[in-house]
Amino acid sequence: MRFEATLNGRPVSWEIAPHAFLTEVLRAHGYVGTKRGCETGDCGACAVLLDGLEVNSCVLLAAQASGHALTTIEGLGTMDHPHPAQDAFVDAGAIQCGFCTPGMVMATVALCGDNASPTADDARAALGGHLCRCTGYVKPIEAVLDAAARLRGDAQRG
Amino acid sequence: MRKGDEMTKEFKTPDGWDTGAASMGEYERFKTVNKSERRVDALKLALGKGTFADDELPAGTLHVKVLWSPHAHAKITRIDVSRAEKMPGVRCVLHHGNVPRVPHTTAGQGFPEPSPWDAYMFDDVVRFVGDRVCAVGAETEADAMRALEVIDVEYALLPAIFDPEEALKPGAVRIHAGPDPRGIADTSKNLAAHLHAVVGDPERGFADSDLVVENEYRVGYHQQSPIEPHVAVTWLDENNRLTVKVATQVPFHSRRILAQVLEIPVSRIRVIKPRIGGGFGGKQEILVEDIPALVTLRTGRPARLYYTRAEQLVSARTRHPAIVRLKTGFKKDGTMVVNQMKAIGNTGAYGAHALTVFSCTGGKALPLYRAKHYLFEAHVAYTNLPIAGAFRGYGGPQGFFATEIQMDIAAERLGLDPIEIRRMNMLRPGDDNPLAVALGEGREGYPQIIRSCGLEDCIAKGKEAIGWHRRGTFDTSGPGAGHLRRGMGMVLLMHGSGIPGIDMASAFLKLNDDGSFNLLVGATDIGTGSDTILSQIAAEALRVPLDKIVIYSSDTDLTPFDTGAYASSTTYITGNAVKKAAEGTLRQLIAAAAKIWECEELGLQAHDVAIWHPDGRRLTYGEICISTFYNHNQHQIMDHASHLSYECPPPFSAHFCEIEVDTETGGVKVVKYVAAVDCGVAINPKAAEGQTEGGTSISLGWALSEEFRFDESGRMQNAGFDGYKIPSALDIPEFQSILVPTYEPTGPFGAKSVSEIPTDGPAPILSNAIYDAIGVRLLEIPFTPEKVLAAWRAKVAGR
Amino acid sequence: MYLRLSEYLRPSSVEESLRLIGGETTALLAGGTHLNVYGHEHLTRVVDLQHLSLGGITLAEGQQSQTIGTLVTLQTLARAELPAELAALQQAARAERNRAIRNRTTVGGRLARDRSDARIATALVALGAEVEVVRLEGHEVVHHVQPVEAFLVRDADARRRQLLAEVRVPLGGGFSHYAHFGLTAMSAPYADVALRVTDGVVRLASGGHGPGSAHTLRLGTAEGVVASIGVGDASGTWQAALREAVVADVPAYTDVYASGAYRRELAVALTTRLVEAWLAAQGVK
C-alpha cells in the first residue's frame, strides 16, 4: 500500500506493506537516526514526532502515520546548524554511546514545545520513557534544562 | 612492605620534562588533559549521524534468525530442516549437522583464553532455554521467522539443574559430557572453574580474633541491557575476504576466534567495530557474528543478525549469580585479622569468564582491607540457565556486596563507627597487595604497590556532600515517625586498571600536511569516550589542541592490536601506548626541525603546534611536514608504541547514600547518592563523572529491581523491558559525583581507570542504608518492595 | 514484530467500522500501541479508527455527566480541565508515565485491552462510569449503555464485535482519588485503588488482581467500612476494619512479579491512604 506523509517538512510517498512498523520503514528509507532498541515501546530509542507529539515508532504501523506530519532526528539540525537541544546534549556531556540520544533529543524538543520553563522534575518525567544504560540520566537531565534555557534565549548556563 | 616494583616505562619526554617525577603539580600544566573537552563524536551522535552496525546494510543482505531451545536440557535426536529450506526467501539453514564442530570459548579474552572451550556453533545438545538450535538466513526477517516455524526438531529431555550447589553434588547430571570440551575444571562435577588462594594462616587468624563475623550473601542474575541489542553484519569484500561489522568490545579476539570457529585463516578476516550502543561487558563476547559469517561464506551474500530485546535478555550474557560466604575475624579494637571468602558461582550453561570473574570477586574486594591472613575459594558451577559472562565490575560487585555489608555488621557488633572501622583497615599509599600474586586472572599475578590513594579525601568529601552528620537523627519512633523511614549508608571500594602482565595495547600516529595527526588505535570506544580520551592524551603529549588529532579505532586491518574494552584497561594501558607513540612522534618532529635549522636538538621546545628555537624562530608542525614530505630529509613522521603493565593501580571510591523506605509498600526510594572517586587524573572530568553516574545506576537497578524470573522448566518469564525493569530517569536519585584528584605516576598523565568501580557500590550500600532506616539486614538482592515489606513485618512481629 | 497483515483499513464512520470487524483475525486500532508485542501473528486485517469523530471531552446535557470520547488520548485526558471530583481519572491517566505511550493510547483502546493494570479502568469503576458501546445487529447499528464493570467482563464475541464509542462519568460533586504502586517508576502497577465519595455514596475499585480486565474489582465490603466512618471517629479503629474488609474483597493473585499476599497488602495500604486523603480533604484527622 501507499505511505504518504510529510517527513521533516517534505512530502514522501513510499510503497509499504500493511504490517510494516514505522521504525523499520523509516530506517529502510535511510532515516537511521531512529533506532530499534526493544519491541515493547519501553526504551524510547525509536521516538519520533507525529503531528508534533512524541510517539514510539516501534509500536506504530507505518500505515497509521500515513497522511500525517513526521519529524525524525534528521529533521532537527545539521552539522553546521545543530538544533539548540542537540548542542545542549553535547555540551552537557550527556552523550556516551549515543544510541538513546536521538530519542532523548526528540523528547526534549517535545517537552520544550509545550513547557518553555520545565523543572528538573519535568525533565525527568519527559525522559521517563527513554531508557539509558550509559549515563544514569544525570547529565541528560541537565541537558534538557539547558536546552530549554537556550530555546528561551537565556544566556548559556554553566 | 615494598616488594619488587619495576616501573615499566621511561618517564622523560623528548624535551626533557620528567613525568616520572610528576605529581600533583602537573595539574597546573595540563592544556587538554583534565579538561572536559567536547567529545569528538558527540555532535554526530546528537544529530543521529553516528553509524551503528544496523544503520548501513550492503545491498542484498540476508536476514538471520535463530531457533532457540524451548528446553533447559535435552539432546536433539532429530532435526529436519527440509521444509524450511524450501520456504520463500530462504537461502541458508545451519544446524549441528552441517557446520564445523569446533569447541571454543565465546569469551573475548587473550589467547589462550582462561575460559573452557565448551561451546560450539551448534551442538546436538541444548543446555538452557534460549540455547541455539539452528539458524536461517533469508531475504527478509519475516521469511526467516516463518522458516523457523516449520523446522522439525525432536528432543530427548534430560534432567535439568537450576541450582549451582545442586550441580556440584555427586550424581548430578553432567551438563558438559563427552570428549570435546577443554579447560573445564571438573566435568564430572559440573565445575567450570575452581580457585583457591591463601595468604598466611587463616585458621590461626580466627583463633587470634576477638570477633568472628560469618554470613552468607546472595546475588542473582543481572543483564547488561545495552539499549542497542547485539548485532553483526558480515559480507565478502571484492578480495573474497570476510568483513565482519559487529557491535563488539573485542575486535581482535573476535577475529581470532572467528578464524578458529570458521576454520579460515585470520588473514582472511577483517573485523570492524562501528558505533556501538553500549556493551558493559555483554559485547566482550564472540556472541552473534559467527552465524551470519558462516551464512556469508556459504551463500556469498551479506548477512545480518540483530537480536530482539527478548533474545538480548535470554540468549546473550549476564552477570554471574553467586553465593558468597564471608567469614571475617577482628580484634576488638576493629583491626581486621583474617578475611575468608568462599564463593559458589553460577556460570549458566557455558563457562565463558567463569574463572576470571571469580578471580576478581576475591581479587578486587578482599585487598581493600589489610588483614594478616586471607583465604579465597571459588567453585563456579554449570547450570541449565542463561549464560553468565562479562559485566562491568566483573566479579567485583559480587565480592563487595559481601565485604561492605560485613564491615557494617562488624562495626555494630564492636560498637565502632562504620567509617572508622574502615579507615582503620583500608589500604594506604605505599601498601602492597598480598593477594595480587595469588589471584592473577587465570595465571599467577604480579606484586602490586599502591602509589596513589585518595580514599581519605573521598571519605571526607563524600561525608560532607551527603550530610553524614544527619545519620542517626531521623525520627524512627514516637508520634513523629510515619510510615516513611530514612536511613543512610556508606561503602568504600577499589578496583583495578587493566590486567597486569596480560593486557597489551598499541597505537600508531602519523603527521599530516597541516600539522594534524592521524591516531590509529585498536582500542574500542563503546560509548565510554575512549576515542576522546586517547585523543586528549595524544594532543597533550604532542602539545597541540584536541582538534589536531583525527582518531580512527577498532579495525583489525587498519589499527594496531588492542585487547579491547574490558578490565578498565583503555585509559591506563592504551593511554600509555598513545602517550609513548606521541612522544616518539614528537622526538621525530624535533629531529626534523633540527635538520631544517641545522642545529642541535637540545634546547628545542615544543608547544602550540610548533617547534621553537631558543632564539625565537619557530617551525610549525605543518611546515615540518611539508618539508619532510616533499623537500628535504624526506620521510613520513610517524611512530607506534605498545604498552603492557605489570602494575594495576586501583582507583578508589567512597559512596554515600540517603534512602527512604515506605514501610507500608516496602518501596525503597534513593533520595540522594554521592560517589566520590579517586581515578588519578581524570583525563576528561565530565566523562569520568558520566562513567561514575552510569555505572552506579546500573547497579542500583541490580540492587532494587532487576532480576530474572524463571518458571519450573527454566524458562525466563520476564524477557522484555516491560518485565525486566532497568532504572529510568524517574528512578534515579539526586546524584553527585565528586572527582578526588590524585596523581598515579604509572598512568598516562597520572590517570587510572574509572568505569567499573562505581558498579561495586550500590548493592551493599543499600543494604547498609536499609538497616539504618528500618533495622532490617538484607543479605540477598534485589531488595524488591515485597522482600523489604516481608522483612519489615517479620521484624515488627519480633521474628 | 512479525505481523502478516494483508489489509490496513481506515473507515470513516462507525457503521463502516462495525462492518469490518468481528473476524478472529481482525483487530481494532485506536492509538495502537500494543501490536508490536508478540502474540498478534494470526492477524490479517487491522481497522484503524483514527478518522472517526470519537475524540472530545464534553459535558452532557444538563451537566449531569462528563463525556469522554473513545479516541481521547491519555495525554489529553491527563491535561484536560476537569472538575475536581474527577481527580482519580486524571491521576490514573498520569499513572501511565510513558509520555510517548500517553500520546497515542486512547481511553477506548486502553479500556478495551484485556489487562487489569489499565489504571483508568480502576478509576472509572470507582467513579461509577458507564460506557456506550455500538455493535451491528443485522444491518442496524445498535447503541447500548452499560456500566464499565460490565464492559470489562464482556465475552470474546463482544470483544470482537463491539466498538466502545464513549465513556460517561456521572457528576455530583464530592471527592475522588487514585493510588498505585509498582516495582519501578515506569512499571505497570502491581495493584491500584480508586475511591469516590459523592453524596455519601462510597465506591472503591482495585485493579491488578488477575491477568485480565475482569480482575478490576469493586471492593464492596471495604465500601461499607468507609461509608460508616463517622465524622470525628477516633483514628485506629476504622483502619483495622478496613484492612479486614480489603483482605476479604481482594483475592491473593500471584503472578511472575508479585505474590498474592503482597498484592493484597498493597491493596490494603493504598486503600487506607485514599481514605486518609478523603478524611484530610474534609478536614478530619
The CATH number of whichever domain residue A56 belongs to comes to 3.10.20.30
How far apart are alpha carbons B532 and B53 in whole angstroms? Answer: 20
Residue A79 lies in a domain: no
Q: Encode pLDDT of B731-781 as tens digits.
A: 999 999 999 999 999 999 999 999 999 999 999 999 999 999 999 999 999
Which pLDDT belongs to residue B16? 54
B439 at A interface, C-beta within 8 A? no
Q: Does the distance separating the beta carbons of B725 and C183 come in below 8 Å?
A: yes
Q: Does the distance separating the beta carbons of A97 and B526 come in below 8 Å?
A: yes
- Looking at the fold, whether A54 and A8 belong to one and the same domain comes out as yes
Residue C218 lies in a domain: yes
- Looking at the fold, whether A64 and A18 belong to one and the same domain comes out as yes
Q: Does the distance separating the beta carbons of A61 and C32 come in below 8 Å?
A: yes
How far apart are alpha carbons B48 and B197 in whole angstroms? Answer: 49
Q: Does domain B322-498+647-796 have CATH number 3.30.365.10?
A: yes
Residue A89 lies in a domain: yes
Position A83 pLDDT exceeds 70: yes
Which pLDDT belongs to residue C236? 64
Of B142, B718, B786, the CB nearest to C2: B142
- Looking at the fold, whether A25 and A48 belong to one and the same domain comes out as yes
Q: Does the distance separating the beta carbons of C269 and B665 come in below 8 Å?
A: yes
B280 contacts on A by Cβ (under 8 Å): 133
Q: Encode pLDDT of B233-261 as tens digits.
A: 999 999 999 999 999 999 999 999 999 99
The nearest alpha carbon in chain C to A20 belongs to C3
Cell numbers at B298, concatenated: 556459504
Interface list for C 78-97 with A (CB within 8 A): 97
CA C198 to chain centre: 19
C262 at B interface, C-beta within 8 A? yes
B726 at A interface, C-beta within 8 A? yes
A59 at B interface, C-beta within 8 A? no
- Looking at the fold, whether A107 and A68 belong to one and the same domain comes out as no
- Looking at the fold, whether C81 and C113 belong to one and the same domain comes out as yes
- Looking at the fold, whether C109 and C87 belong to one and the same domain comes out as yes
- Looking at the fold, whether A67 and A34 belong to one and the same domain comes out as yes
Of A1, A56, A64, the CB nearest to C101: A56
- Looking at the fold, whether C37 and C78 belong to one and the same domain comes out as no
CATH number, position C222: 3.30.390.50
Structural domain range at position C31: 7-48
Mean pLDDT of B254-276: 98
Of A27, A98, A138, the CB nearest to B45: A98
Question: How far, in Å, are B281, B361, C184 from residue B730 at the CA level?
Answer: 25, 31, 8
C271 at A interface, C-beta within 8 A? no
Burial B30-64 (b: 16+ CB within 10 A, else e): eebbbbbbbbbbbbbbbbbbbebbbbebbeebbbb
- Looking at the fold, whether A30 and A62 belong to one and the same domain comes out as yes
Interface list for B 664-723 with A (CB within 8 A): 686-687, 689-690, 693-698, 720-722
Which pLDDT belongs to residue B12? 54
Q: Name residue C8's beta-bridge partners.
A: C46
User: CATH classification of B24-30+504-644, choosing from 3.30.365.10, 3.30.420.40, 3.40.50.300, 3.40.50.1000?
Assistant: 3.30.365.10
Domain boundary among C170, C191, C209: C170
The nearest alpha carbon in chain B to A97 belongs to B527
- Looking at the fold, whether C38 and C84 belong to one and the same domain comes out as no
Position A157 pLDDT exceeds 70: no
B732 at A interface, C-beta within 8 A? yes
Position A156 pLDDT exceeds 80: no
The nearest alpha carbon in chain B to A132 belongs to B227
Instruction: Tell me the pairing of strands B62-68 and B132-138.
Output: antiparallel
A52 at B interface, C-beta within 8 A? no
C258 at B interface, C-beta within 8 A? yes
Q: Please report the number of interchain residue pairs, chain A to chain B, with beta-carbon separation below 8 angstroms.
A: 189
Q: Encode pLDDT of B184-237 as tens digits.
A: 999 999 999 999 999 999 999 999 999 999 999 999 999 999 999 999 999 999
Residue A113 lies in a domain: yes
- Looking at the fold, whether C261 and C197 belong to one and the same domain comes out as yes
CATH number, position A116: 1.10.150.120
Contacts 24+ apart (CB under 8 A), B551-554: B551/B40, B551/B518, B551/B519, B551/B520, B551/B521, B552/B518, B552/B519, B552/B520, B552/B521, B553/B273, B553/B520, B553/B521, B553/B522, B553/B523, B553/B524, B553/B525, B554/B251, B554/B272, B554/B273, B554/B521, B554/B522, B554/B523, B554/B524, B554/B525
Q: Which helix H or strand E contains A86, and what residues bound it? A: helix A84-91
| Strand spans (E) along B554-651 | 605-607, 610-612, 618-620, 638-644
Mean pLDDT of B376-381: 98
| Cα end-to-end span (Å), chain A | 51
Position B9 pLDDT exceeds 60: no
Q: Does the distance separating the beta carbons of B277 and A37 come in below 8 Å?
A: yes
- Looking at the fold, whether A140 and A103 belong to one and the same domain comes out as yes
Q: How close does chain C come to B403, measured CA to CA in Å? A: 27
| Strand spans (E) along B175-220 | 191-199, 211-219
Q: Which helix H or strand E contains B456, and what residues bound it? A: helix B455-466
Q: How close does chain B come to A66, measured CA to CA in Å? A: 22
The candidate with the shortest Cα–Cα distance to B664, out of C216, C273, C185, C252, is C273
Interface list for B 41-80 with A (CB within 8 A): 41-52, 54-56
Q: Encode pLDDT of B658-691 as tens digits.
A: 999 999 999 999 999 999 999 999 999 999 999 9
Which pLDDT belongs to residue B404? 98
How far apart are alpha carbons B577 and B666 in whole angstroms? Answer: 50
Counting as low any pLDDT under 50, the low residues of chain C are 285
C48 at A interface, C-beta within 8 A? yes
Structural domain range at position A9: 2-74
Q: Which residue shows C-alpha cell 520544550? A: A112
C8 contacts on A by Cβ (under 8 Å): 1, 18-19, 61, 63
Q: Please report the number of interchain residue pairs, chain A to chain C, with beta-carbon separation below 8 angstroms.
A: 84
Which pLDDT belongs to residue B3? 28
Q: Encode pLDDT of B283-317 as tens digits.
A: 999 999 999 999 999 999 999 999 999 999 999 99
Which pLDDT belongs to residue B22? 66
Interface list for A 67-106 with B (CB within 8 A): 72-74, 76-79, 82, 86-87, 89-91, 93-102, 105
Chains that touch C (3 or more CB pairs under 8 A): A, B
The nearest alpha carbon in chain A to B48 belongs to A33
The candidate with the shortest Cα–Cα distance to C253, out of C266, C269, C270, C239, is C266
Which pLDDT belongs to residue B717? 97
The candidate with the shortest Cα–Cα distance to B116, out of B439, B355, B446, is B355
Domain boundary among A56, A74, A92: A74
Which pLDDT belongs to residue B768? 98
Q: Give residues with Cβ within 8 angstroms of B12, minimum separation 6.
A: B18, B19, B20
How far apart are alpha carbons C247 and B171 in whole angstroms? Answer: 46
- Looking at the fold, whether C225 and C157 belong to one and the same domain comes out as no
How far apart are alpha carbons B370 and B424 in whole angstroms? Answer: 9
Mean pLDDT of B263-288: 98
B675 contacts on A by Cβ (under 8 Å): none
Q: Encode pLDDT of B466-509 as tens digits.
A: 999 999 999 766 665 689 999 999 999 999 999 999 999 999 99
Reduced to 3 states (helix: H, G, I; strand: E, B; else coil), residue C38 is: coil
Q: How close does chain C come to B531, measured CA to CA in Å? A: 33
Which pLDDT belongs to residue B194? 97
Q: Encode pLDDT of A131-154 as tens digits.
A: 999 999 999 999 999 999 999 997
Rounded (5°) CA angle B510-B511-B517: 80
Site from B532, B677, B725, B728 to mutate, A interface, most A CB atoms within 10 angstroms = B728
Domain boundary among C170, C205, C223: C170
Of B665, B704, B723, the CB nearest to C266: B665
Q: How close does chain C come to A17, measured CA to CA in Å? A: 8
Position B700 pLDDT exceeds 70: yes
Interface list for B 5-24 with C (CB within 8 A): none
Q: Encode pLDDT of B58-114 as tens digits.
A: 999 999 999 999 999 999 999 999 999 999 999 999 999 999 999 999 999 999 999
- Looking at the fold, whether C223 and C182 belong to one and the same domain comes out as yes
Confidence of residue B364 (pLDDT cuts 50, 70, 90): very high
- Looking at the fold, whether A88 and A29 belong to one and the same domain comes out as no
Q: CATH 3.90.1170.50 residue ranges in chain B?
A: 53-158+230-306
Residue C2 lies in a domain: no
The candidate with the shortest Cα–Cα distance to A142, out of A150, B461, B50, is A150
Which pLDDT belongs to residue B5? 33
Which pLDDT belongs to residue B439? 82
Mean pLDDT of A53-72: 97
Q: In this predicted complex, what is the ipTM?
A: 0.97
A129 contacts on B by Cβ (under 8 Å): 728
How far apart are alpha carbons B648 and A133 in whole angstroms? Answer: 27
Which pLDDT belongs to residue B21? 56
How far apart are alpha carbons A113 and A76 in whole angstroms? Answer: 13
Interface list for B 207-246 with A (CB within 8 A): 224-229
- Looking at the fold, whether C38 and C86 belong to one and the same domain comes out as no
Number of domains in chain C: 3
Q: Encode pLDDT of B715-737 as tens digits.
A: 999 999 999 999 999 999 999 99
Which pLDDT belongs to residue B10? 45
Average pLDDT, chain B: 95
Q: What is the pTM of this model?
A: 0.96
How far apart are alpha carbons C84 and C68 in whole angstroms? Answer: 16
Q: Please report the number of interchain residue pairs, chain B to chain C, with beta-carbon separation below 8 angstroms.
A: 56
- Looking at the fold, whether C181 and C273 belong to one and the same domain comes out as yes
Which pLDDT belongs to residue B4? 29
Q: Encode pLDDT of B11-62 as tens digits.
A: 455 555 555 456 899 999 999 999 999 999 999 999 999 999 999 999 999 9
Which pLDDT belongs to residue C54? 87
Of A1, A58, A110, the CB nearest to C36: A58
**Fold classification of B53-158+230-306 (topology level):** Aldehyde Oxidoreductase; domain 3 (3.90.1170)
Q: Does the distance separating the beta carbons of A128 and C38 come in below 8 Å?
A: no
Number of domains in chain A: 2
Q: CATH 3.30.365.10 residue ranges in chain B?
A: 24-30+504-644, 322-498+647-796
What's the sign of the alpha-carbon dihedral B1, B3, B7, B8? Answer: negative
Cell numbers at B753, concatenated: 581507570
- Looking at the fold, whether C144 and C217 belong to one and the same domain comes out as no
Confidence of residue B707 (pLDDT cuts 50, 70, 90): very high
Q: Does the distance separating the beta carbons of B309 and A40 come in below 8 Å?
A: yes
Of A39, A63, A125, the CB nearest to C36: A39
B667 contacts on C by Cβ (under 8 Å): 181
Q: Encode pLDDT of B334-348 as tens digits.
A: 999 999 999 999 999
